Amino acid sequence: MRYQPLPSDLYIRNRAKLTSMMKHGSMAIVNSNDEMPRSGDQNFPFKQNSDMFYLTGLDQEKCILTICPSHPVESLREVIFTVKTNDLMVTWNGYKYTLDEARQLSGVRTIKWLDEFDMTLKDQMSRVQTVYLNQNEYIKYFTDVPSRDTRFAGKMKTDYPVHSYERLAPLITSMRLVKEPEEIMQMQKACDLTNDGFRRILDFVKPGIMEYEVEAAFTHEFSRKGAGHAYQPIVASGRNACVLHYVSNDKPCMDGDLLLLDVGAEYGNYCADMSRTIPVNGKFTPRQRQVYEAVLRLMNAGMSMLKPGVTNEKWHAEVCRLMEKELLGLGLITRAEVESQDAASPAFFRYYMHGTGHFLGLDVHDVGSRQDVFKKGMVLTCEPGIYIPEEGIGIRLENDVMVDDIPVNLMAHIPVDPDEIEELMGRR
């Protein structure tokens, strides 16, 4: 394991909270993610199902958790099933959890091999009427590939057709929205590693360097400290920065261009998400600085609003109101355009066309909706941007912030002031 695991107490508490929300006479079943095929005999690197990790701390494929609180046999109220290991498997494929290791990581007392799953499940199902099954319910995500959860739900409804089934996602979503102190600790570690990577590239970026070389510097910094990328990094120079999800990262960084970086470390499965925009030659032009300072004002104002009682929807609307003023000041839109604008397509949308932020946690776009009311302990990104293709300028700034009466900026130590950026780049 590359990272320091969290104490099992966190997962014990999480399961207890879930149990308290379940209907009487019910059980819940959660699966690990599949190993995803790449090509030939290769798989993509494994990424654990976030709900499974949240409830168990297990970071391995072929694991199943069952929670059956009303079972008369105490040892069958929480059970983890994991792939049976042997010396030959270890020789070929490496380490897998032993029963005791899975027990220590998760705090679940009863650990069984997967070949005992069907018999144990039949016993548990005989004691309940309702079964909670999990699905990825992220509203913007679509895929043609049937997930393990989808396949498992189909099999359960075939094998146990007279039981009733409930959605587990709403329960776990309500739990995952507010982060526990241990989770904030892991997220702060991810932010710290992102800071390390950013400071490294400030000493590295210069005219002529390739975007993918900058990406590689982040990758090396993360990897040597037991972390990885929380998402595919964006390293976008010049006009590429006006492409919101630019990930080609294959162009040269030219003298006079800006370089937009949207990069975050993932540590212990918890994500950081940072955006910074820097001058390739180490010095902002007057116009670049003018636009940059406008975005910085918007980010600072947006972060200050991340307090209990606000909704993402209202927060974004207020930042858009401030954005309109900034774009007027930059001469990008006119007062006449604002006064005659269509509410469904406001004038500022030409230069600012995305949301102000999103929830962050075990997933970079974590559980939660635009209508959720902010509570203490939630973590969101704040990432306003201004994109001016006709000037070759794209600037986005992004920090990760914990909601509180006085919002907590988890990236306060990452350089963002333009004078500091120029100073650090000038030391090369």
Model pTM above 0.75: yes
Give the dihedral sign, CA 285/290/295/300: positive
- Same structural domain for residues 28 and 89? yes
Q: Which helix (H) or strand (E) holds 394?
A: strand 393-396
Residue pLDDT, tens place only, 19-48: 999 999 999 999 999 999 999 989 999 999
Q: Are strands 274-279 and 258-263 parallel, antiparallel or unpaired?
A: antiparallel
Kindly state the percentage of the chain with pLDDT values over 90. 93
Going by pLDDT thresholds of 50, 70 and 90, the confidence category of residue 116 is very high
Domain boundary among 141, 161, 176: 176
Residue pLDDT, tens place only, 367-401: 999 999 999 999 999 999 999 999 999 999 999 99
- Same structural domain for residues 157 and 195? no
- Same structural domain for residues 14 and 162? yes
2 found inside a domain: no
Give the dihedral sign, CA 139/143/149/153: positive
Rg (CA), the chain: 24
Check: CB of residue 114 under 8 Å from CB of residue 80.
no
Domain boundary among 151, 176, 201: 176
Q: What is the pLDDT of residue 428?
A: 58
- Same structural domain for residues 35 and 127? yes
Going by pLDDT thresholds of 50, 70 and 90, the confidence category of residue 329 is very high
- Same structural domain for residues 302 and 368? yes
Closest alpha carbon to 332 in 353, 347, 313: 347
DSSP class per residue in 264-317: -EEETTEE--EEEEEETTS---HHHHHHHHHHHHHHHHHHHT--TT-BHHHHHH
Catalytic residue positions, numbered: 41, 245, 262, 273, 354, 358, 365, 383, 387, 396, 398
Residue pLDDT, tens place only, 236-255: 999 999 999 999 999 999 99
Number of domains in the chain: 2
Residue pLDDT, tens place only, 398-416: 999 999 999 999 999 999 9
Check: CB of residue 251 under 8 Å from CB of residue 213.
no
Q: How many residues does the chain have?
A: 428
Q: Which two tokens stand for residue 96?
A: 């897998």
Going by pLDDT thresholds of 50, 70 and 90, the confidence category of residue 2 is confident
Domain boundary among 176, 204, 227: 176
Residue pLDDT, tens place only, 271-322: 999 999 999 999 999 999 999 999 999 999 999 999 999 999 999 999 999 9
Domain of 232, in residue numbers: 181-426
Other Cβ atoms within 10 Å of 297 Cβ, number: 16
- Same structural domain for residues 199 and 168? no
Q: What is the pLDDT of residue 221?
A: 98
Average pLDDT, whole number, for the chain?
A: 96
4 found inside a domain: no
- Same structural domain for residues 264 and 309? yes
Q: What is the pLDDT of residue 1?
A: 78
15 found inside a domain: yes
Q: What is the pLDDT of residue 95?
A: 80
- Same structural domain for residues 412 and 398? yes
